Amino acid sequence: MTFFRGRRLRRTATMRGLIRETRLHRDDLIQPYFVVETDDPGFVKPIGVMPGQNQLGLNALKERVGRAVDQGLAACILFGIPKQKDASGSQAWAEDGVTQQAVAAMKQAFPDLCVITDVCLCEYTSHGHCGLVSDNVSGQEILNDPTLGLLTKTALSHARAGADMVAPSDMMDGRVGAIRSALDDEGFTSLPIMSYAVKYASGLYSPFREAAESLPQFGDRKTYQMDPANRLEAFREARADLEEDADLLLVKPALPYLDILRDLREAVDVPLAAYQVSGEYAMIKAAAQNGWLDEQTVVLETLTGIKRAGADLILTYFAEQVLEWIK
């Protein structure tokens, strides 16, 4: 009797390694950092809902990033938390704003590090939404077109500070084209845009909103982030951003939307990123701290699954740890 003997190629660790189809590499990983505008550059505040992550002052950020770069970190994305917030989020594009200062400091200290910036208003607005707000007869509304100019100013300020890539995460219609046009007009034709093209209105963002101090003060973000039930809409969003000249597309969150990631991988030929978001991180951390699972095993398994589904790049709060595990 003959039958398939798949176990022949699983017999030893060396054999399994020889035929491994998907490999996680340190260059695949992007570590997010939360940088705070503070008079204490050494400021470090642990984020309770995200064990191992912190809000950081500029010097503390530099120290932490330096350790990660020594381990092989190739890229990071910065989220800024200003001292003062207002209705328009004006500190988002301030020349001496917290993100702008952080970009300049990172590029001076680590010129080879790819520094990506989050382009959004939610961390900077007093109401916590990603766009301007208007009151009308039916209630408060997030305004699309008037927000585009503010996002454009924010992206330009990041470019002037030295960012290697900008990543609009707001989900306003038309923002990629507006940002691309403004960057080109100012001579930043070589600066790529990583668009949060497919960003679902997920419950898994809750820890991030505490970390970034960006909880909406009214309502939710369902009028501009995508309905988790929708698959075909992802193609429309991706096509729109590609037509507006996005260079990379991002799917967020990662694990609940691996089917979407695979769909896009088969449909487009640009690099794809996926964001293993704060809730995904927090769940794994909590389970590991309770002894319910082995953290390293599960982290590497989930990240490998994200890459296998089609991601070229993965934004993950585990990046620093993984750099130590996959030397």
Peptide bond into 216 cis (omega under 30): no
What DSSP designation does 196 have?
E
Helix (H) or strand (E) holding 275: strand 272-276
191-234 pLDDT, tens digit each: 999 999 999 999 999 998 888 888 888 888 999 999 999 999 99
- Supply the mean pLDDT for the chain: 95
Residue 138: its pLDDT value, please?
Answer: 59
Residue 217: its pLDDT value, please?
Answer: 86
> What band does 256 get if pLDDT is binned at 50, 70 and 90?
very high
> What band does 136 get if pLDDT is binned at 50, 70 and 90?
low
What CA dihedral angle connects 179, 185, 187 and 193, to 10 degrees? 20
pLDDT > 90? residue 75: yes
Average pLDDT, integer, range 305-325? 98
Least confident interval from 38-42, 61-65, 108-112, 217-221? 217-221
Catalogue the active-site residues: 199, 252
The span from the CA of 99 to the CA of 36, in Å, is 9
pLDDT > 90? residue 172: yes
Average pLDDT, integer, range 88-100? 96
Contacts 24+ apart (CB under 8 A), 71-74: 71/320, 71/323, 71/324, 72/26, 72/323, 72/327, 73/26, 73/29, 73/31, 73/113, 73/319, 73/320, 73/323, 74/26, 74/27, 74/29, 74/113, 74/114
Domains of the chain and any CATH numbers: 23-325 (3.20.20.70)
Residue 274: its pLDDT value, please?
Answer: 98
Indicate the pTM of the whole model.
0.95
Residue 243: its pLDDT value, please?
Answer: 98
Average pLDDT, integer, range 39-63? 96
